[in-house]
Structure 1
């Protein structure tokens, strides 16, 4: 009987010890970000760029030629209206840095989105924001009272990341920038 009591007491201790042990949960830090593969190709707009063709000299030294399609473009006799359309934001000027996302169609590179990074750089203002997008991924805010200023930027898969906020660039011109995310559309003008 004493052995049975000892076995029972030992089992109870094991059960209690198992209940008190905690499984290790991964300790996620606020700065931990899930890595996302970037399909964007970065480079410089080449001299061979024209209205419907982008010559891209990539950062790795390769030269790629992307076809730029508009809504009325004709590709192999097929009008692509409602189909493939290239979006070029910030214009195409030889020597400017650009970020391109695209796809291969019948062996030909077709641009989906072209962002002129050189045009994106600069000082932008709105009613509540006043910031400068600088070379190398830095954003400098000029509003000292801003609660959550943007401090970094990059292009990822054809979209603009400002800190952790992801935006579609709807329009990028010489003096205006329109970006959009699920919270709304944001309009900025270039400060000279």
Structure 2
């Protein structure tokens, strides 16, 4: 009888894990009651606009919800910030940060306004537009990107996930498991 119970329990656990994993961005884990729980990965990015109180080592972010969050921007150390695309008052930003004592520290600051626009390389020519839309300018391109979003400081183009290594006025460096991809801005 015990064998049937354990075999049944293991089958339910395995089927539950398969069910969780087949839905994409979910993972299965056992909790302390030995039941399988499906848990979705959450986006920790805070979105908003760069405020007038922004300076060399501080960022004032006016969130989409209307709140104002002040972040410390460290140059070095464990709490150092990576600012991609610059900081200009009024630009749309995506911020990944953490709290130490009662202070907010930015880890990644991505200027979405700078990210938007026309980008080109040897094999791709695309435009990142507002609202998560990507427009391809090469008709014969296989698997053109059609949508984008920021998720936990990474750039998602369709199902491709990239770390943004550099974002400047005229250059964009993206990296994933396949390598580093360099794009220049078309004007």
Normalising by the smaller structure, the TM-score range is 0.7 to 0.9
Q: Does 1:44 align with 2:49?
A: yes
Write the distance in 1 (CA, Å) between the matches of 2:151 and 2:87: 19
Instruction: Determine the structure 1 residue equivalent to 2:60.
Output: 55
Name the residue aligned to 1:112: 107
Structure 1 position 129, deviation (Å):
0.3
1:164 partnered with 2:150: no
Q: Does 1:124 align with 2:124?
A: no
Matched, 1:176 2:178: no
CA RMSD of superposed structures (Å): 1.6
Give how far 1:53 is off. 0.3
- SS of residue matched to 2:131: coil
1:84 deviation in Å?
2.0
Whether 1:98 and 2:131 are equivalent positions in the alignment is no
Q: Which has the larger radius of gyration?
A: 1
State the Cα distance separating 1:85 from its structure 2 match: 1.2
Using structure 1 for the length normalisation, give the TM-score. Answer: 0.78
1-side partners of 2:129 and 2:41: how far apart?
23
Instruction: Describe the SS at the equivalent of 1:136.
Output: helix
Q: Give the aligned partner of residue 28 of structure 2.
A: none
Structure richer in strand, relative to its length: 2
CA distance in 1, matches of 2:167, 2:137: 21
Deviations 1:47-102 (CA, angstroms, capped at 9, x unpaired)? 0000100000000000000000112xxxxxxxx2xx22100000000000000000
**Residue 114 of structure 2: SS of its match in structure 1?**
helix
CA distance in 2, matches of 1:117, 1:165: 18
Q: Deviation string for 1:109-167 (max 9, x for gaps)?
A: 00000000000000000000000000000000011111111100000001100001111
Q: Report the TM-score, using the length of structure 2 for normalisation.
A: 0.80
Stretches of structure 1 that go unaligned for 5 or more consecutive residues are: 1-22, 72-79
Q: CA deviation at 1:107?
A: 1.1
